[in-house]
Chain A
Amino acid sequence: MNVLRDTVILFKRSMRHIQHSPDTIITVAIIPIMIMLLLVYVYGGAIKTSTGTDNYVNYMLPGILLMSIASGVAYTAYRIFLDMQKGIIARLHSMPVSRSAVLWGHVMTSLVSNAISLMIIFLVALVMGFRSSAELTAWLAAAGILMLFTLALTWLAVIPGLTAKSIEGASGFSYPLIFLPFISSAFVPTATMPALVRAFAENQPVTAIVNSLRALLGGQAVGSDIWTALAWCIGVTIFAYFFAMRAYKRV
């Protein structure tokens, strides 16, 4: 029994699902791209004056990327739910296959397919005028944060995937996550928000992550935000992993 070998085999299996229906990657990218178009070309002119930024595409891209990840992980919940319902997980558990590889195969798939969606969005942003003066190390750090965020939300998605009673229940958890960037510093500065909303916006994870990404891609100093961002990502990963494993033991 070999966790790594089984994970790779099962990863290839669910990547083949994506190959057979690439629309799962397109649909993940399409909504964030639409919102990006809407924000830049409809509201952008008005927002620009209040943010004081000269390149609004640069300003809102990090929030759009997080939104894409939040909707992308819903597919992980969906795929695990289907595997549970169709008895595929039971079949794998009755075989000489590593139990944790069954979940890791899905988690790996999520990391790769979300990365592809992010690249599509990124290309569209480039066409829309995204420019960066960041150095390679800053780029790598930004990619690392996006990957950690994906990992955290993916493990969160495993929980409803294993426990939901219906498809809607399996993927419904992602809706609030998709909207989190709207109540954060992702698209407008938090300073103009009413006190209560502002308090929430400034202390929820998306703001710290968005600020870090924005600073990294803008070639600026990141400050303490990056530690808050990392703490959130790692904290959520550990928390979600613990509850996912607990749910998995009951399967």
Chain B
Amino acid sequence: MTNIAIETKGLKKAFKATSVLKGVDLEVRRGEIFALLGSNGAGKTTVVNILSTLLKPDSGTASVCGFDTQRQPERVREQISLTGQFAAVDGMLTGHENLMLMAELRSVSNPTQIANRLLNQFGLSDAGNKRADTYSGGMTRRLDIAMSLVGTPAVIFLDEPTTGLDPEGRLEVWKTIQKLAQGGTTILLTTQQLEEAEQLANRIAILHDGRIIASGTLNELKQLFPPAKLEYIEKQVTLEEIFLAIVGNKTAEVAR
């Protein structure tokens, strides 16, 4: 078994005349959190969709756990789980029913037990029997990620997991992702927030204009820049810090 969970070589993709990916090379190791950082329209979702067998590249190859996404899409689908940019949760069903649906489709042996365990793990036990369209943004995202964990996939794709969440919801999701990686799951997450990549990822690749322009650990990326100069700057409190300080009690409750 190789140590490589995800590999792409020379991935190219164009939509009509617009070339989105112009040769993307990636290598994600097993058990790491890998962040694909890029601005809007950089092609992050296209990379994720190719890796999760939803799209075919025009040229180049992509493989997940050693299976080629084009030649063995079914084997790839058994290894992965996709949490797309918009929480793909069935709002008409309860949280419990959503998890049961995933469990049945992945034919896990004890669906009820798994659904209850995940609800508990994601702090959704009390909301488990409420319809998912009554959930807050943060709860929906947590359910969405919980649904991805049914059947313990080896690789999880999180496409902008915190987009559209308030700061509290974002912290909830960050904690969840960190816990996941401790369990040995390989995670490829896309984000346009530098801070998110910095907080979560073992390694980071920067996707810009259809190409990876830099990749490595945060420290390696930092070395690409001129050495830090010592300067004294008065530290301003950010609005986010103020917000989090005020609602701090509430966040602590949620975490519990």
Contacts and interface: CB of A to CB of B under 8 A. Distances in A.
* Co-assembled chains A and B: yes
A1 B88 contact: no
Interface in A1-41: 1, 5-6, 9-10, 13, 16-17, 20-21
- Please tell me the size bucket of the interface on B: 20 to 34
Interface centre among A86, A90, A96 (most CB of B within 10 A): A96
B91 A86 contact: yes
Contact of A95 (B87, B93, B106): B106
Nearest to B107: A5
Given A17-B93, A20-B92, A91-B88, A96 B81 contact: no
- Please tell me the size bucket of the interface on A: 20 to 34
A87 interface: yes
B93 A13 contact: yes
B105 A9 contact: yes
Interface centre among A1, A87, A94 (most CB of B within 10 A): A94
Contacts of B52: 94
Nearest to B97: A16
B54 interface: yes
A87 B88 contact: yes
A1 B107 CA distance: 10
Interface stretch (B72-80, B176-184, B216-224): B72-80
A50 B80 CA distance: 67
Contact of A90 (B74, B88, B91): B88
A175 B77 CA distance: 40
Contacts of A86: 86-91
A178 interface: no
B82 interface: yes
Contacts of B91: 86
Contacts of A5: 107
Nearest to A101: B105
Nearest to B94: A20
A16 B131 CA distance: 12
B101 interface: yes
A13 B54 contact: no
14 contacts: A17-B93, A20-B131, A21-B92, A86-B86, A86-B90, A86-B91, A87-B87, A88-B90, A90-B84, A90-B88, A91-B88, A93-B53, A94-B54, A96-B74
Interface of A: 1, 5-6, 9-10, 13, 16-17, 20-21, 86-88, 90-97
Given A17-B92, A86-B89, A91-B82, 4 more contacts: A6-B105, A9-B104, A13-B90, A95-B106
